[in-house]
Amino acid sequence: MFVDKVLVHVKAGHGGDGAVSFRHEIYVDKGGPDGGNGGRGGNVVFEVSQNENTLVRFRFKQELTAENGVNGSKRQRQGANGEDLIVKVPAGTQVFDGDRLIADLTEPGQRAIIARGGDGGFGNAHFKSSTRQAPQVAELGEKGDEKDLTLELKLLADVGLVGFPNAGKSTFLSVVSNARPEIGDYPFTTLTPNLGVADIDDTSLLIADIPGLIEGASEGKGLGDAFLRHVERTAVLLHLIDIYEDDVAGAYKTIAAELAAHSKALSKRPQIVALTKVEGLPEDGIEAKLADLKKVVPKSTPLFAISSPAHINVTDLLRQARKMVEAARKKAAKEQPEGDAKPLIGLNAEQEAIAWRVTKNDDTFMVRGTKIEKFAARTNFATEPGRRRLRDIMRKMGIMHELERQGIEEGNTILIGKARAYKLTHGDQ
Ligand SMILES: Nc1nc2c(ncn2[C@@H]2O[C@H](COP(=O)(O)OP(=O)(O)OP(=O)(O)O)[C@@H](O)[C@H]2O)c(=O)[nH]1
Ligand SMILES: [Mg+2]
């Protein structure tokens, strides 16, 4: 079964409570406050794994819960942080909170924090100051994020098959790949997308077969255009047209118009157009139909006349598809050069602002992010309360947690920002 949309409930860990406690010392009636801070709750983190291809396992496991932080205790003992829950998802998974896309996971290894663990509360030791020697106050741990989310898998195929019902899309996929889609001599045989891997020379192509489109599909006719989302991000479209159509040029134009109505980007996708079922037809008949198509298809679009069951021109077509896929991927890579670090969570402006990343370089830790850099810019680094406040903000934003995860030690340098880096020394007050 092809599963492409599931509901899950995610729950990050709660932060541990801060402790209220006072040192017990011989000869001292009541020592100073020594209540430790609570640990941070674990995050729920999604990670793209190449070993996952579907969302099917979320059908059986819909509760994704990370560990709570442990409460602080006396002698300034910090409670342990809750473990993050790392959830493996396939490349192409999109995560929605209602209608809002909160993460778009496309690259193997890419991670996104889907639900943030709550911060631990400060213990009373934190609240000691020159005017408050014996604070009785400690904070409660913060609640972790908890929400219902929809996961959607967009197939990241190389080639997407489009065309009228009965054009021979599923037959093509079954001949060139390991996939065994249902095939029928009636329209709308295919009701859910199929994926197959076609080997060509020494590489392979991932091909997506979707239900047929008809005129008005973009307005919901037939099975509508909902399935087009599965080919939205394919590098190349393969448009199949039954040679027995009376008007192959008209068939081409109808589908081209539906693609354009669905999305402009899709209508500009590199494409190949192929007439199907040509076995047993005379050469001049095929030529005449190709000539009809040539009049309406853009000049740069390669045209083929194929038969899947008779294996006519199928290999040549795959080779052409492979060439175009490679060119398209190269072009995309050039337009979006890969940075050293992938953005944690992208997209909406609010999230963009609070997103941050930490990179480690020997004993120096670089922190980048719009919001944290703004805070740093407003910090008076010359004063202890100033530095302390910035540390608290970094803790609240989860940056301290990440620094610790990356192994920061006392005396290490933290640089915030790039051009004008603000410098903190870890462990200093
Ligand atoms: N003679 C001949 N018949 C073919 C060829 N390709 C497909 N067919 C037949 O055409 C009919 C439709 O094929 P499908 O592959 O199910 O078509 P489809 O485009 O996937 O159709 P939908 O799933 O309804 O969109 C079936 O009866 C196939 O056997 C071909 O190259 N030659
Ligand atoms: Mg089909």
Q: How many Cβ atoms are within 10 Å of 218's Cβ, its own excluded?
A: 17
Q: Which residues contact 421 (CB under 8 A, 6 or more apart)?
A: 366, 415
Average of pLDDT values for 48-65?
Answer: 80
Query: 265 CA distance to ligand 2 centroid (A)?
Result: 24
Average of pLDDT values for 181-195?
Answer: 85
Instruction: Look at 273 and 192; give whichever has higher pLDDT.
Output: 273
Distance between CA 221 and CA 318 in Å, rounded? Answer: 31
Instruction: State the pLDDT at residue 340.
Output: 36
Instruction: Look at 166 and 220; give whichever has higher pLDDT.
Output: 166
Average of pLDDT values for 107-112?
Answer: 88
Distance between CA 190 and CA 172 in Å, rounded? Answer: 13
Residue whose CA is at the smallest distance from ligand 1 atom 24: 188
The pLDDT-based confidence of 196 (bands split at 50, 70, 90) is confident
Element of type H or E holding 327: helix 314-335
Average of pLDDT values for 388-399?
Answer: 85
Instruction: State the pLDDT at residue 330.
Output: 81
Task: Report whether pLDDT(423) > 60.
Answer: yes
Query: 170 CA distance to ligand 1 centroid (A)?
Result: 7
**Cα dihedral value 247, 294, 184, 186, nearest 10:** -20
Task: Report whether pLDDT(28) > 70.
Answer: no
Query: 245 CA distance to ligand 2 centroid (A)?
Result: 17
Highest mean pLDDT (candidates 118-127, 160-169, 399-408)? 160-169
Instruction: State the pLDDT at residue 349.
Output: 52
Average of pLDDT values for 151-167?
Answer: 87
Ligand of minimum distance to the alpha carbon of 188: 1
pTM assigned to the model = 0.55
Distance between CA 112 and CA 136 in Å, rounded? Answer: 38
Express each pLDDT in 345-364 by its tens digit: 333 455 566 778 888 888 88
Instruction: State the pLDDT at residue 223.
Output: 82
Query: 2 CA distance to ligand 2 centroid (A)?
Result: 14
Distance between CA 427 and CA 411 in Å, rounded? Answer: 6
* Residue to mutate, 2, 170, 174, 213, ligand 1, most ligand atoms under 8 Å from C-beta: 170
Query: How many CA atoms lie within 13 Å of 202's alpha carbon, on the beta-carbon side?
Result: 0
Task: Report whether pLDDT(50) > 80.
Answer: no
Ligand of minimum distance to the alpha carbon of 181: 2
**pLDDT cut 90: percent of the chain above it:** 44
Q: How far is CA 82 from CA 15, 41, 65, 178, 292, in A?
A: 8, 5, 11, 44, 66
Query: 256 CA distance to ligand 2 centroid (A)?
Result: 19
* Residue to mutate, 164, 166, 304, ligand 1, most ligand atoms under 8 Å from C-beta: 166
Task: Report whether pLDDT(3) > 70.
Answer: no
Instruction: State the pLDDT at residue 174.
Output: 94
Query: 214 CA distance to ligand 2 centroid (A)?
Result: 13
Ligand of minimum distance to the alpha carbon of 304: 1
Closest ligand 1 atom, residue 309 Cα? 31
Q: Which two tokens stand for residue 81?
A: 């942080």
Express each pLDDT in 253-271 by its tens digit: 999 999 999 988 888 999 9
Average of pLDDT values for 11-25?
Answer: 91
Distance between CA 401 and CA 116 in Å, rounded? Answer: 11
Q: Which two tokens stand for residue 219?
A: 């307005």
* Window from 142-146, 151-155, 278-282 with minimum mean pLDDT: 151-155
Task: Report whether pLDDT(2) > 80.
Answer: no
Residue whose CA is at the smallest distance from ligand 1 atom 13: 168
The pLDDT-based confidence of 339 (bands split at 50, 70, 90) is very low
Query: 276 CA distance to ligand 1 centroid (A)?
Result: 9
Pocket of ligand 1 (CB under 6 A): 163, 165-171, 183-185, 187-190, 211-212, 276-277, 279, 307-309
The DSSP bridge partners found for residue 239 are 162, 273
Task: Report whether pLDDT(21) > 70.
Answer: yes
How does the average pLDDT of the chain come out, rounded? Answer: 86
Instruction: State the pLDDT at residue 338.
Output: 45
Instruction: State the pLDDT at residue 419.
Output: 53
Residue whose CA is at the smallest distance from ligand 1 atom 7: 168
Express each pLDDT in 298-333 by its tens digit: 999 999 999 999 999 999 999 999 999 999 878 876
The pLDDT-based confidence of 112 (bands split at 50, 70, 90) is very high
Express each pLDDT in 29-48 by its tens digit: 667 899 999 999 999 999 99
Helix 314-335 / helix 169-176 crossing angle, nearest 10 deg:
90
Query: 169 CA distance to ligand 2 centroid (A)?
Result: 5
Residue whose CA is at the smallest distance from ligand 1 atom 8: 168
Instruction: State the pLDDT at residue 343.
Output: 36
Ligand of minimum distance to the alpha carbon of 165: 1
Residue whose CA is at the smallest distance from ligand 1 atom 32: 277
Instruction: State the pLDDT at residue 155.
Output: 59
Task: Report whether pLDDT(172) > 90.
Answer: yes
